[in-house]
Every structure is written in C-alpha cells, then in structure tokens.
Amino acid sequence: MKRFDVMSCMASTLHNLTARPSRLMCNIGFAFMAAIALPAAASAVEFKPEFRTLGLGQKAADVTTEGYEGFACGSNGGPPLEPLTGWVDFAKCKPEANGLHEVYVEFGTRTERLSQMFRDEYNEELWIQQFGGTRIANFPVVLSLLFDDEGIVRAFRAVTDARAELEDRGRAYLLRFRVYALYGNNDWDCFKRPATGGITPVGDMYVNEVCRKEIDGKRVRVEAHVYRRPGQTGVDMQGMFMPGQFESMTRWEVFDATLPVSAEEAAQ
C-alpha cells in the first residue's frame, strides 16, 4: 500500500486523449444536506449524504424521489436494467454477491434533451449542457444506491458513464480528485496496478489505481484508470489518428463499514 498525495498527481493532462483540448467545466460542486440517522436496533449512526440527498442509512420509503427519475435495477455501474417506479421497488433487483440490491437513478434528463436538440439543430453546444443529465461535478455518471433486504441503504455507487461523449470520457479519470477532496486529501491507502495483460499508456499517460479510506463509519473505495486495452492503438492501418481508442474511468463506492467486505470490494 502507498499513501496517496493528491497534489503530486494534479500534473496529469488530457492532451493525449483527444485531438482537441478538453474544456474542464467543473461548475457543479457537490451539494451536501443535513446528516441522516441510520435506523438500528442498538444505537443510531449518522451518515452525511454522499451527493445531494443520497446517503447511507435511509429507509427506501424515506429516500426522496423528488428531482429523480429513470429508476431501474442497476448493473454494477452499467446501463439500467428492469424499470422501477422508485426506491421502494429495490427488492425486484437481483442481489449482488454482497447481498445488496442496486437501484439505478437519473436526474437532469430534460435539460440534457434540450441541449441535444440545440446541438442537433445548430451544431453548437448550449451553455446549459453542463447542467444536463446525471452529472456529479460536471462528470456524467451512472448513479445508484444499494439496499439490503430490509430496505436500508447500505452503499452508494457512482461510475463515470462509458456512454458519454468523447470529451467527457477522456476526462473521466479526473473525477477521482473531487472524491478525494470530499473525504479529505490525506491518508488514502492506494494501490497502483502495473501495466500488464497488454494494456499500454495513452501517450505518456498511465493511471490504474485503487484507493481506500475508512471515515465516519464508512468505507470509501475509489478506482480510476486511463490506458489503452490490447488492440487500442489510437491510429488506423494508415497511421491516421482514431479518437476514442482508450479507457478512462472513475468508480466511486461508499459502503457501510459494518458490512462484510466482499471479494469485489477487496479486489486490487
């Protein structure tokens, strides 16, 4: 394990990912609400929400649906599965290996549709695009809460959306810095994975790490990478640049510290 120093990593750039400079519009910060009490038989444990009103310890019936839409069973940070009417339908979702039921959710989709219509009509970006879609700190994400069999939120998950446009995908690995800052930049235990199995840097850039921190009764796990998979060269057979041939991602998960650690969570 290696202690993580956020400032030493901030020199990373996106010049090798796309043919044009990225516009890092990070105008949307994290919105934090009042602390939420975790119902428990013995003593209540209070958890601050991770994002907006979404946090650990709430009952499904008490988690607000206002401002949220597109409820569905989750697929471990991937696209939505079976549609749901709300959080209370969590039991319809097949439990993961850790026994939790993932409920996928969206917000801001109306603004996203308006921005897309403007782009299609005028071939220009609309300034409100930065507020459109399910975004955290202006990063498109797949967002979900995970419930136990009793309907209590025991985990939070946000994974940068692989369906996003090229520029958003290219900077997806940078979301990790916002998460580190949220829980305090110091005292992260990080494991940096070597480039094996045919994966290669994107130019001179290679990020492939898992960082963990336990704080306030929660286990926080942040996984991030940017690299090329086998077969992704960035150029075609004629040597011409091919944008998009790279992997860039941040996976942010928060677990109730009283939960057993699953094999997936423990994975380096």
What pLDDT sits at residue 239?
A: 75
Name the residue with higher pLDDT: 47 or 147: 147
**Where does the pLDDT of residue 255 fall: very low under 50, low under 70, confident under 90, or very high at 90 and above?**
very high
DSSP state for residue 241 in the 8-state scheme:
B
Mean pLDDT over all residues of the chain? 80
User: Cα–Cα distances in Å, from 74 out to 81, 90, 111, 138, 147?
Assistant: 6, 10, 23, 21, 11
CA dihedral 139, 255, 265, 100 (to 10 degrees): -100
pLDDT at residue 183 in the model: 96
Q: What pLDDT score does 158 carry?
A: 97
| 202 C-beta neighbours (distance < 10 Å), count | 21
Q: Please tell me the least confidently modeled range out of 50-54, 230-234, 240-244.
A: 240-244
Parallel, antiparallel, or unpaired: how do β-strands 101-106 and 69-73 relate? antiparallel
> Which has more confidence, 240 or 184?
184
Task: Taking the CA atoms of 256, 54, 105 and 267 in sequence, report the sign of the dihedral they define.
Answer: negative
* Residue 39: per-residue pLDDT: 35
Distance CA 72, CA 81 (A): 6
Q: Please name every residue paired with 38 in a beta bridge, in sequence order, or none if there are none.
A: 45
Q: What is the pTM of this model?
A: 0.76
The pLDDT tens digits of the residues spanning 23-33 come to: 333 333 333 33
Based on C-alpha coordinates, what's the Rg of the chain? 19
185 contact partners, CB below 8 Å, separation of at least 6: 6, 7
**Mean pLDDT, to the nearest integer, of 53-61?**
94
46: pLDDT strictly greater than 70 = no
Give yes or no for residue 121 having a pLDDT over 80: no
What is the 3-state composition of the chain as percent helix, strand, coil, each rounded to the nearest 5? Answer: 20, 30, 50
Nearest to 75 by CA among 104, 97, 109: 104
Bigger pLDDT: 134 or 92? 92
Residue 176's pLDDT is what? Answer: 97
**pLDDT value at residue 267:** 85
What is the DSSP-derived secondary structure letter of residue 66? T
Percent of the chain surpassing pLDDT 70: 74
Structure-model confidence comparison of residues 101 and 40, the more confident one: 101
Q: Which of 149, 49, 133 is nearest to 90 (CA)?
A: 149
Q: Which amino acid is residue 253, in one-letter code?
A: E
230-242 average pLDDT score = 79
Amino acid symbol at 208: N
Per-residue model confidence as pLDDT tens digits over 123-159: 665 544 555 579 999 899 999 999 999 999 999 999 9
Structure tokens at 47: 């958890």
Question: Taking a C-beta distance cutoff of 8 angstroms, is the pair 209, 223 a contact?
Answer: yes
Q: Provide the pLDDT for residue 202.
A: 92
What span, in angstroms and rounded, lies between the C-alpha atoms of 173 and 145? 21
Q: How far apart are CA 114 and CA 191, in angstroms?
A: 41
Report whether pLDDT(122) > 70.
Answer: no
In Å, how far from its chain's centre is CA 263? 19
- Please state, for a pLDDT cut of 90, what percent of the chain lies above it: 58
For residue 226, pLDDT over 50 is answered with yes
Q: Exposure pattern of 227-257 as b/e (b: 16+ CB <10 Å)?
A: bbeeebebeeeeeeeeeebbbbbbbbbbbbe
**What pLDDT score does 232 carry?**
84
Q: What is the reported pLDDT for 126?
A: 52
Residue 28's pLDDT is: 31
pLDDT at 249 > cutoff 80: yes
Q: Is 182 helix (H, G, I), strand (E, B) or coil?
A: helix
